């Protein structure tokens, strides 16, 4: 039995509609219902943990998304298993979005748009994929997939993660000791890190200064990774050429936020990629079955690491 667990009203409605379409009626229930006492899994987005702790049969707290930063993992500890949603269509969607972002800078569309506003006719150089150095922060299921895809297209791809990974065609770096070497060769830096206590504000002046002058930033991790004022300063000083931002510390982005009008910032409203509801519900149903049977879970999170 799956119980809906969210304190966000619009998400409550989304989950009710999705479960009604993709799950058997007897497989789920609402919070505070009589059936919830039998729930073994909570489908969650900013859940009420006080309430969940009253459910006697609960074994699994399942994020409805790829991220788990909306869960209080310290409080959850080892009391419950925690899982997240990872789906191939989600990976493909992210890759499609990032292909467009890379081409935006590779083919100088940022320059061409600025020239159009000035009614200026000037042809920029044409770079091939082999001319472009992409750096990807975060080489988990999403980042590793993206890195391998870009490498197969002929880009010079490097990746950085906390622990060393092996990915065909990708130069991999790991840990704090190797991060500077990784950044030094990243002309287009893509952030796909999960949000943890250790990396809040990681995209800051210190990091920007370690990138090649004129580098570009693409942030599809979390808004809290970015120090917004440091980014504006790096763009205004021309240390950075531009930034494409899909995630923000506060969403929706405030109408008076400087990012809307800054000529070197491209804002997208958290649309890089979403797993389809069919996949979200399918994975949660599968994990609820597994947790009841005592089987290994799909996409389980290491609560101590936060991802």
Both 98 and 74 in one domain: the answer is no
Say how far apart CA 105 and CA 232 lie, in whole Å. 18
pLDDT of residue 79: 97
* H/E run at residue 180: helix 175-184
Question: Which one-letter DSSP state was computed for residue 193?
Answer: P
Report CA-CA distances (Å) from 140 to 91, 97, 301.
Answer: 11, 18, 12
List of residues 6+ apart from 293 with CB closer than 8 A: none
Both 199 and 236 in one domain: the answer is yes
Task: Please identify which residue in the block is written with the tokens 């009710």.
Answer: 16
Both 54 and 196 in one domain: the answer is no
Both 63 and 48 in one domain: the answer is yes
Both 52 and 95 in one domain: the answer is no
Low-confidence ranges of the chain (pLDDT < 70): none
Say how far apart CA 121 and CA 29 lie, in whole Å. 61
> Which tens digit of pLDDT belongs to each residue from 180-215?
999 999 999 999 999 999 999 999 999 999 999 999
Residue 270 is a catalytic residue? yes
Containing domain of residue 114, as a range?
89-265
C-alpha of 72 from chain center = 18
The catalytic position among 222, 225, 241, 290 is 222
Half-sphere exposure of 107 (CA within 13 A, CB side): 8
Both 165 and 187 in one domain: the answer is yes
> Which tens digit of pLDDT belongs to each residue from 236-258?
999 999 999 999 999 999 999 99
Say how far apart CA 162 and CA 174 lie, in whole Å. 5
For the record, the structure tokens of 38 come out as: 């039998």
Give the dihedral sign, CA 55/48/10/266.
negative
Domain of 292: which CATH number? Answer: 3.40.50.720
Both 201 and 289 in one domain: the answer is no
Question: Which one-letter DSSP state was computed for residue 194?
Answer: P
Which pTM was predicted? 0.94
Both 94 and 62 in one domain: the answer is no
Both 155 and 295 in one domain: the answer is no
Both 1 and 118 in one domain: the answer is no
Residue 274 is a catalytic residue? no
pLDDT of residue 81: 98
For the record, the structure tokens of 262 come out as: 């800054």
Say how far apart CA 7 and CA 177 lie, in whole Å. 41
Question: Which one-letter DSSP state was computed for residue 300?
Answer: B
Q: What is the length of the chain?
A: 307
Task: Please identify which residue in the block is written with the tokens 């229930």.
Answer: 29
Both 99 and 223 in one domain: the answer is yes
Our count of domains for the chain comes to 2
pLDDT of residue 8: 97
Say how far apart CA 262 and CA 251 lie, in whole Å. 18
Both 79 and 129 in one domain: the answer is no
The catalytic position among 179, 257, 270, 274 is 270
């Amino acid at each position: 039995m799956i119980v809906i667990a969210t304190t966000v009203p619009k998400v409550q409605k989304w989950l009710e509609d999705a479960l009604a379409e993709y799950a058997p009626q007897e497989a789920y229930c609402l919070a505070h219902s009589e059936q919830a006492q039998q729930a073994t899994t909570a489908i969650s987005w900013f859940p009420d943990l006080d309430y969940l702790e009253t459910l006697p049969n609960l074994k699994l707290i399942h994020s409805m998304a790829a991220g788990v930063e909306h869960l209080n993992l310290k409080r959850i500890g080892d009391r419950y298993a925690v899982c997240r949603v990872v789906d191939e269509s989600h990976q493909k969607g992210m890759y499609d979005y990032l292909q467009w972002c890379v081409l935006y800078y590779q083919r100088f569309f940022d320059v061409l748009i600025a020239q159009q506003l000035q009614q200026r006719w000037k042809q920029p150089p044409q770079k091939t994929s082999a001319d472009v150095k992409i750096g990807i922060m975060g080489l988990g299921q999403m980042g590793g997939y993206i890195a391998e895809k870009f490498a197969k297209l002929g880009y010079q791809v490097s990746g950085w993660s906390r622990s060393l990974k092996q990915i065909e065609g990708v130069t991999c770096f790991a840990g704090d000791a190797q991060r500077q070497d990784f950044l030094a060769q990243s002309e287009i830096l893509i952030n796909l890190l999960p949000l943890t206590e250790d990396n809040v504000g990681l995209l800051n002046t210190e990091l920007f200064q370690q990138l090649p002058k004129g580098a570009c930033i693409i942030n599809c991790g979390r808004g809290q990774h970015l120090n917004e004022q440091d980014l504006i300063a790096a763009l205004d000083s021309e240390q950075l050429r531009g930034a494409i931002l899909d995630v923000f510390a506060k969403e929706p982005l405030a109408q008076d936020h400087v990012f809307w009008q800054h000529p070197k910032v491209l804002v997208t409203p958290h649309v890089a990629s979403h797993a389809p509801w069919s996949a979200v519900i399918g994975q949660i149903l599968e994990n609820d079955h597994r947790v009841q049977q005592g089987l290994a879970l799909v996409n389980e999170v290491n609560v101590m690491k936060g991802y």
